Amino acid sequence: MTVHEAAHPPSPVPTRSGVVAHRGASAEFPELTLVAYQQALEQGAEALEVDVRLTADGVPVLLHDPRTSRVGDRDVWVHSSTLRQLSDLDVGSWHPVHRTPEPVLTLRSFLVMAEAYPHVKLFLETKHPVPTGGRVEVALRDELAYFGMDKPRDPASSRAVMMSFSVMAVRRFGQLAPTVPKLQLRERRNVLKSWPAEGFGAQMMGPCISTLRARPWLVEYWRSRGLGTYCWTVDDPADLLLCRDLGVDWVGTNTPARALDVLDGPGRSGDTGGTVGPGGRDGSAGAGGATGAGGAVGAQSAAGAGIDGPEAGVPVVN
């Protein structure tokens, strides 16, 4: 019997999928900038997603690509540039709608902003492969510790969610911050392999939307194994409704306002109370007992071509 033929009765889904602003409100504003996140919060996003890299002097910054050619006014490698060098970059004017200069955002500045929104969940992706290797997970743990978010009493009460395409990164962060929930992002080529993610401490799986279109049964399969789901990047209304009906816990979207409108459409009241917790959006475990917590990154933002997953041409220290 193949795995999708196994008889798993559908789990009831008490609330709709939570809405995660993928790199902020990145369809209308330049990704990973302060203005993109502020606008996402104004639009009602229930969670924010970021990509984290380290500078040459060890400062975690929010940049998706290993180099800045796509979003910056100069082309530099992030890992070989200091924060001072990156602070001179304009990462906003490239955006076809915004067309206004914006600076590179540090993880600390992002977390300072997020302090004013304690009910909003934070999905924090460490990018791999990178020359700095596991130092990025250590830096993420240290920043969470600075804000008192590194030792939640349990995964369900955590505001932060760590995620990565790298299984080793997820395992490493589990050793650094055991009670912060972890999410294993998946590409299509390895989407069926929940192991070793489960054994390495992941509470949630993160497939792309094209995977769930082709294999919708995966949501129930992972739920039966105690894993929640986060799907990226979900902008099309039909895809949003698919995720809702499948019981996907969280959807990453570049258009949070539109996603909320679709998910809270006719006959749907949405979720109106409680803090946003892993898996179940009221802070409880997700359907089927999964302590799901996810974030996602992945598809292209408005005019960008930022592709998620392992990156070619970067020295690997994983």
64 is catalytic: yes
- According to DSSP, residue 163 is labeled E
Which residue is catalytic, options 4, 22, 95, 128?
22
Which residue is catalytic, options 4, 8, 64, 119?
64
**Distance between CA atoms of residues 32 and 49, nearest Å:** 9
Distances in whole angstroms, Cα of residue 274 to Cα of each of 11, 119, 141, 149, 157 = 22, 8, 26, 19, 12
List, in sequence order, every residue forming a beta bridge with 61; answer none if it has no partner.
Answer: 53, 106
Exposure string for 21-50, b = 16+ CB within 10 A, e = fewer? bbbbbbbbbbbbbbbbbebbbebebbbbbb
**Rounded (5°) CA angle 40-46-52:** 70
φ, ψ (nearest 5 deg) of residue 14: -70, -25
Structure tokens at 205: 């799986």
Describe the chain by its helix, strand, coil percentages, rounded to 5.
25, 15, 60
79 is catalytic: no
Active site residues: 22, 64
